[in-house]
């Protein structure tokens, strides 16, 4: 069942820049960051809905589909699923350890275009690289 829930405050002007700055400053993931990243990456908007069964916010993506906001800033699996959704066919790499991680995304078209993200966790690093690549 989906019902109205708490709405995250997401900047509307220069959304990509604001969310990139939030990710670069983050020391850990959060529900607010999850909302911000998923909305920005999918060019979506918060629908003020909560999926009770999944315990997740629901957004309306730019393509009109409904998307549950998964814990992309704390789960590498969720971050990778989002990156694959918004950047199909791209190549993803994660390296690092401890509190320093790096993510690299390569354009699969052979053009040699790379995007990078660094963060305190693999999920945050990948979210940062994915948002840079989706600009």
Q: What is the pLDDT of residue 11?
A: 53
The boundaries of the domain holding residue 111 are 2-133
Instruction: Note the pTM of the prediction, 2 decimals.
Output: 0.85
Q: Can you point out the beta strands (E) in 5-135?
A: 45-51, 56-60, 66-68, 91-97, 100-106, 114-119
Q: What is the pLDDT of residue 80?
A: 97
φ and ψ at residue 118, rounded to 5 degrees:
-120, 145
Nearest-angstrom CA–CA distance, 100 and 84:
23
Higher pLDDT: 122 or 55? It is 122
pLDDT digits 0-9 by tens, 67-117: 889 999 999 999 999 999 999 989 999 999 999 999 999 987 666 789 999
How many separate domains does the chain show?
1
Q: Across the chain, how many H-helices and E-strands are there?
A: 4, 7
């Amino acid at each position: 069942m989906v019902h109205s829930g708490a709405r995250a405050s997401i900047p509307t002007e220069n959304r990509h820049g604001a969310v990139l700055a939030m990710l670069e400053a983050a020391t850990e993931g959060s529900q607010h960051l999850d909302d911000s990243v998923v909305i920005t990456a999918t060019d979506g908007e918060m629908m003020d809905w909560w999926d009770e069964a999944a315990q997740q916010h629901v957004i309306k993506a730019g393509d009109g589909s409904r998307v549950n906001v998964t814990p992309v800033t704390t789960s590498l699996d969720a971050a990778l699923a989002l990156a694959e959704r918004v950047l199909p066919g791209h190549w993803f790499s994660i390296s690092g350890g401890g509190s320093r991680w790096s993510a690299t995304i390569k354009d699969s078209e052979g053009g040699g275009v790379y995007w990078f993200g660094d963060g305190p966790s693999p999920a945050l690093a990948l979210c940062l690289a994915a948002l840079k690549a989706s600009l």
